[in-house]
Structure 1
Amino acid sequence: MKKATPHYLYWSIAMLKPYRIELIIFLLLELGGIFFSLSFVYWSKKAVDYAIHGGPNTVEHALIFTGVSIILGIIAQLISNWTNEKMRASMLIELQNGIMHRQLLATWQVIKRWHTGDIQVRIHSDCNEIVQMIGYSVWNFMLTSIKLLASFAFLWFLDPKLAILILAISPLVALSKLYFRRYRKLTQELKQADSEFGHVVQENLRFRMSIKALGLHPLRWQKLETVQDTIYHLKLKLLNFSTFSLTIMKTTVNAGFLFTFFWGVLQLQAHLISFGTLTAYLQLVSRIQGPVLQLIGFAPAFIRFRTAVERLQELEKEEVEKIDRFMVIPHPQSLVLENISFNYDDIKILNSFNAIFRKDEPTAIIGPSGRGKTTVIRIILSLLKINSGVAYILTKDEKIKLSPEHRINFGYVPQGDKLFSGTIRENLYSSDKHFTEQDISYALDTACAGFVYELPLGLETIIGESGYGLSEGQAQRIAIARALLRDCSFYLFDEVTSALDLQTAGILMDRLIQFGKDKILIFVTHDLNLTERCTQRIFIS
């Protein structure tokens, strides 16, 4: 554990580096707030003493300084809070974007190991914990320590014996090793349960239509309640533990305040202090024990921070694709898969697979389900790392080994979910390239998706998650139009006629093959009519 601390420190410093100016402003304002707070104690003491023993002019001056101290303290606090909130908002966006960016570049092997519900919890909850700690809590700990020392020094100046007694009975006992271990264990268990809850919620919402159709509602609801019950009991354990600890702390604080009050009254009765000094005692003791409680509260916050960092580091350690730049390949002649072998875990999918895909020769990849047809597409797109063999593109002049940098050369229509929530126009765009209305109309017509213009809002029609609001066949054809707009040298189609009637499928295939002249077209399909239209057929058994 100790060996990891420097890494946490380095990690935190790296995150704070772009926000040095905001952080310095925040700290200076907070230090000013501490000064004005103690100034208020000092001048309020003077005002009381002057009211009893001094003249009216001195009382007025003391009251003015007391009021000024309050006003300046409020102003400093407001500006510091605004500065800190703004800084943390920017930090949170940067941290979440960094994690999300890595997830978008994650390799296929990484993607299949992580559930999206778990990742969502980590991006939201854990990132918030981290930003709260390095953007505020750690500095608040430092400022609170300064406030505690300043208040203690002031109280020492007034009465050294009382200062020592108050410090002695402060609830420092709560900072025990047992407290840390117990709180850390409960926090880890709760975060794991939160991730599991994210799994269930994400799946229940995403597949809610299928859940209803298959009659799985009772089972899925039972699973949700089971996870919620686990979270509830873990939170109850944490609540009971925190309540017990807090009870000890507050009891000690109240005892300290009561002791100070008795001490001050007896000192006042013995004419050893003034009434103004008694009021200063009572204000300072709250400014000592309050910070002590805040410092103790830092311990669970730090534990949550450590746990959150560990969870994000698990994501950061995963492999991501390294794409320095996208490379357009001019005038490709063929795509070659040579002696390709690939395993999913310990299951062999492809063994010494060979294929050549040529320009002007549409190819159909056919075979039973689960034998590797879609795997071939993923290998071509460099989404999977092969165990052996090589995939490359031949041009007139060179042989280029395929990598993620070449993915820009491919138009791809996947099987399954193809569209995002938003307008149809937004779904047609797959890059920042500008398309004219003529470009869009041509792509939609080629994809047999002219029905879009018959919708009440046309291209501005809003569709829901996973294409809700459209039939599967309509979503399929819009996805094809999106791919065609890219105007690539290679096109990969995975079961693009599976949701179409025979007549529409036939028209679509004729148009795609016509569109694909001088291009390399690859179709993964079970459609025999489509297979017959292709020049080359590759069977995977």
Structure 2
Amino acid sequence: MQASLKQQIKWAWRLAEGYKGRLFLYFILELIVIASSLYFILLSKQAIDLAVAGDRDQVKTVIIVAISAVLIGLILKSYSNWLNEKTRVEMLISLQNRLINSQMLSTWKFIKKWHSGDIQLRINADSNEVVQMIGNTFIVFILTFIRLLASFFVLWSMDPMLAFIILAISPLLVFSKLYFKRLRSMNANLKKLESYFSQVVQENLRFRMSIRALGMQATRWNKVVDAQKDIYDLRSSLLNFSIVSQGILKASVNFGFLLTFVWGIYKLLENEISFGMMTAFLQLVGRIQSPVLGMMSFVPQFIKFRTAVDRIDELLLTDLEEEEQPEVLTSLDSIAIESLSFRYEDNLIVDNFSMEVKAGVPTAIIGSSGKGKTTLIRLLLSLVKPDSGSISLYADAVQSPLSSRHRINIAYVPQGDKLFSGTIRENLMIHHETSAQRLEEAIYLSCAEFVYDLPEGLDTYVGESGYGLSEGQAQRIALARSLTRDCKIWLFDEVTSALDTETTSRLLDRLMKAGKDKIVIYVTHDLALANRCEHVIYMK
């Protein structure tokens, strides 16, 4: 749903909080620059007239003052540009951090709402457009309007008739409400097409090896081409409109300048103005016509801004997981699930499910696909909340409802390779307090000693999603990462799926021995693993 203009202005005002002082200073400095430029025009007129009259002493004084005005204007302009650029960079970082944080902490129903490629486009392109408008374009628009009025009144003080003629022929187009709606609709559609293109490109790059292996190169490439064609067609429509409107504007500007030139020649011929006045006329016309062009270019930028605000505000309105102070449990006896039910939209995934897992009793949860195993993991991690039922922790006969604050007690290994780009050491040292001894123990428990034999050892670089490692190697590094903390709960999702029989056997021997005083849950399809567990739960 698109927000009203009033709502968007209030939104922008709140976004500028903390930067209003610097933006106001930028505005004042630019006003002084405008005043100095107009003052220079008056001084140049005076200098030319004095030169024609032969007054050398006065000419020198006026030239010195005029040069001083130009230098002051240049210094202030440089400083105001530096100040504004610095302010906008800080605003952009702040806004992007808010957006990234909102998505990092978003609840499950919002995580699946937008594609990550679309989110990246909003964080980068849309944020830039919003900050550019609030921190620069809108202020420049006001300054341009002030410069237009000031130039007009200076010209009017010299020749009222010429001033009104120039204003009358200036290309001040009146846009209808229908035009604005159409232009805004086209920009909104363009954003959607660009988001879709970003999604396609991201997926093509992320899964490029699988795409080639599956023979899907042509299909996925056609998606790229089709998305680019749609963007090209829409951009062409916007370009055609821009070319026509700019042509009209430039023709009006040129006509205004020619009219001023002819008018000045005529006035000179009739001895009604001086050479200095003629020069001032030509300079002032440029200072009237240029602001008009600048104000007209503001329209499409403003429409882009309104579209970007709607898209960014959607992300900021995301429901966030409540951040709780982590609670480290020094002892834990069991986890009990009672009459648990959960549904995604209208699809019932977990229905009246109950179980109890005790410390020292390794438990396997098995079941066919679609029976709720992954959902159960999310419930145990408090990433989603059950519709009914409860999950409780028992420690020394004290019951505590499971919540996100207990997540710190869970060593979790997700299914598949979930490694980050960087060195193996960086992937393992996700907790700065991890000691060298603890790191070695985690590597041993996960049967990941192979890392020491790699070319750079722990400092070997790993590409995106574990590129450079086999699936089994990446899986064991992910396991070692989870074991770098001494957690009371181990939650492993298909931890042996990519391992051979020998490695699986060795790994389970080590895990069973090390986890004898912990709550260990294996979510798996591996019946050999299930047979090693004392407690097996079937999800049907």
**TM category, shorter:** over 0.9
Which residue is equivalent to 1:498? 497
- Within 5 Å, give how 1:245-256 maps onto structure 2: 245-256=245-256
2:539 matches 1:540: yes
- Within 5 Å, give how 1:118-267 maps onto structure 2: 118-267=118-267
Name the SS of the counterpart of 2:419 in structure 1: coil
Which residue is equivalent to 1:84? 84
The Cα of 1:355 is off from its aligned counterpart by 0.9
8 Å contact kept, 2:324–2:404: no
Name the SS of the counterpart of 1:18 in structure 2: coil
The Cα of 1:397 is off from its aligned counterpart by 4.8
CA shift digits 1:48-100 (9 cap, x unpaired): 11110141111112222222222222211111111111111111111111111
The Cα of 1:2 is off from its aligned counterpart by 11
Structure 1 residues 280 and 176, CA gap change in structure 2 (3 angstroms)? farther
8 Å contact kept, 2:446–2:480: yes
- Within 5 Å, give how 1:14-33 maps onto structure 2: 14-33=14-33
Name the SS of the counterpart of 1:332 in structure 2: coil
The Cα of 1:318 is off from its aligned counterpart by 2.6
Q: Structure 2 CA distance, aligned partners of 1:217 and 1:512?
A: 42
Which residue is equivalent to 1:464? 463
8 Å contact kept, 2:417–2:478: no
Q: Structure 1 CA distance, aligned partners of 2:119 and 2:338?
A: 36
CA shift digits 1:3-30 (9 cap, x unpaired): 7333222221222121233223312221
Number of aligned pairs? 540
Amino acid at match of 2:499: L
Name the SS of the counterpart of 1:242 in structure 2: helix
More moved, 272-281 vs 514-523: 514-523
Name the SS of the counterpart of 1:86 in structure 2: helix
8 Å contact kept, 2:117–2:199: yes
Q: Structure 2 CA distance, aligned partners of 1:391 and 1:523?
A: 17
The Cα of 1:275 is off from its aligned counterpart by 0.9
RMSD: 1.5
Q: Structure 1 CA distance, aligned partners of 2:387 and 2:418?
A: 29
Q: Structure 2 CA distance, aligned partners of 1:375 and 1:28?
A: 58
Structure 1 residues 318 and 169, CA gap change in structure 2 (3 angstroms)? same
Q: Structure 1 CA distance, aligned partners of 2:8 and 2:325?
A: 32
CA shift digits 1:310-343 (9 cap, x unpaired): 0112222232211132222332211111111122
Q: Structure 1 CA distance, aligned partners of 2:100 and 2:179?
A: 34
Q: Structure 2 CA distance, aligned partners of 1:285 and 1:344?
A: 65
Name the SS of the counterpart of 1:349 in structure 2: strand
Structure 1 residues 2 and 278, CA gap change in structure 2 (3 angstroms)? farther
More moved, 218-227 vs 312-321: 312-321
Q: Structure 2 CA distance, aligned partners of 1:175 and 1:393?
A: 65
Amino acid at match of 1:101: N
Structure 1 spans left out of the alignment, 5+ residues: none
Amino acid at match of 2:281: Y
Which residue is equivalent to 1:473? 472
Q: Structure 2 CA distance, aligned partners of 1:2 and 1:43?
A: 50
TM-score (norm 2): 0.97
2:309 matches 1:309: yes
Q: Structure 2 CA distance, aligned partners of 1:486 and 1:424?
A: 17
Structure 1 residues 349 and 3, CA gap change in structure 2 (3 angstroms)? closer
Q: Structure 1 CA distance, aligned partners of 2:176 and 2:263?
A: 30
The Cα of 1:428 is off from its aligned counterpart by 0.7
Q: Structure 2 CA distance, aligned partners of 1:418 and 1:295?
A: 50
Q: Structure 2 CA distance, aligned partners of 1:179 and 1:75?
A: 41
- Within 5 Å, give how 1:417-456 maps onto structure 2: 417-431=417-431, 433-456=432-455
8 Å contact kept, 1:430–1:486: no
Structure 1 residues 379 and 3, CA gap change in structure 2 (3 angstroms)? closer
Which residue is equivalent to 1:322? 322
Amino acid at match of 1:495: E
Which residue is equivalent to 1:357? 357
8 Å contact kept, 2:98–2:316: no
Amino acid at match of 1:538: I
Which residue is equivalent to 1:529? 528
Q: Structure 2 CA distance, aligned partners of 1:438 and 1:486?
A: 12
Amino acid at match of 1:334: S
CA shift digits 1:279-310 (9 cap, x unpaired): 11111111111111111111111111110010
CA shift digits 1:346-399 (9 cap, x unpaired): 222211000111111111001112211121111100112322211121222532
TM-score (norm 1): 0.97
- Within 5 Å, give how 1:93-104 maps onto structure 2: 93-104=93-104
Name the SS of the counterpart of 1:28 in structure 2: helix
Q: Structure 2 CA distance, aligned partners of 1:74 and 1:282?
A: 22
8 Å contact kept, 1:30–1:143: yes
Which residue is equivalent to 1:113? 113
Which residue is equivalent to 1:512? 511
Q: Structure 2 CA distance, aligned partners of 1:519 and 1:395?
A: 12
8 Å contact kept, 1:414–1:493: yes
Q: Structure 2 CA distance, aligned partners of 1:145 and 1:327?
A: 58
8 Å contact kept, 1:174–1:296: no
- Within 5 Å, give how 1:40-51 maps onto structure 2: 40-51=40-51
More moved, 41-50 vs 214-223: 41-50
Structure 1 residues 52 and 352, CA gap change in structure 2 (3 angstroms)? same
Q: Structure 1 CA distance, aligned partners of 2:149 and 2:403?
A: 60
Structure 1 residues 447 and 2, CA gap change in structure 2 (3 angstroms)? closer
2:274 matches 1:274: yes
Q: Structure 1 CA distance, aligned partners of 2:84 and 2:490?
A: 50
The Cα of 1:237 is off from its aligned counterpart by 0.3
Identity in percent: 51
Q: Structure 2 CA distance, aligned partners of 1:176 and 1:346?
A: 45
Structure 1 residues 104 and 15, CA gap change in structure 2 (3 angstroms)? same
Q: Structure 2 CA distance, aligned partners of 1:3 and 1:122?
A: 17
Q: Structure 2 CA distance, aligned partners of 1:6 and 1:86?
A: 28
Name the SS of the counterpart of 1:497 in structure 2: coil
CA shift digits 1:407-454 (9 cap, x unpaired): 1121110002310000111101233x3222222111101110111111
Name the SS of the counterpart of 1:448 in structure 2: coil
2:486 matches 1:487: yes
The Cα of 1:185 is off from its aligned counterpart by 1.8
Structure 2 spans left out of the alignment, 5+ residues: none
8 Å contact kept, 1:413–1:479: yes
More moved, 464-473 vs 67-76: 67-76
Q: Structure 1 CA distance, aligned partners of 2:240 and 2:83?
A: 36
Structure 1 residues 324 and 144, CA gap change in structure 2 (3 angstroms)? farther
8 Å contact kept, 2:264–2:281: yes
Name the SS of the counterpart of 2:113 in structure 1: coil
Name the SS of the counterpart of 2:302 in structure 1: helix
Q: Structure 2 CA distance, aligned partners of 1:58 and 1:380?
A: 87
Which residue is equivalent to 2:384? 384
Structure 1 residues 2 and 462, CA gap change in structure 2 (3 angstroms)? closer
Name the SS of the counterpart of 1:17 in structure 2: coil
8 Å contact kept, 1:99–1:123: yes
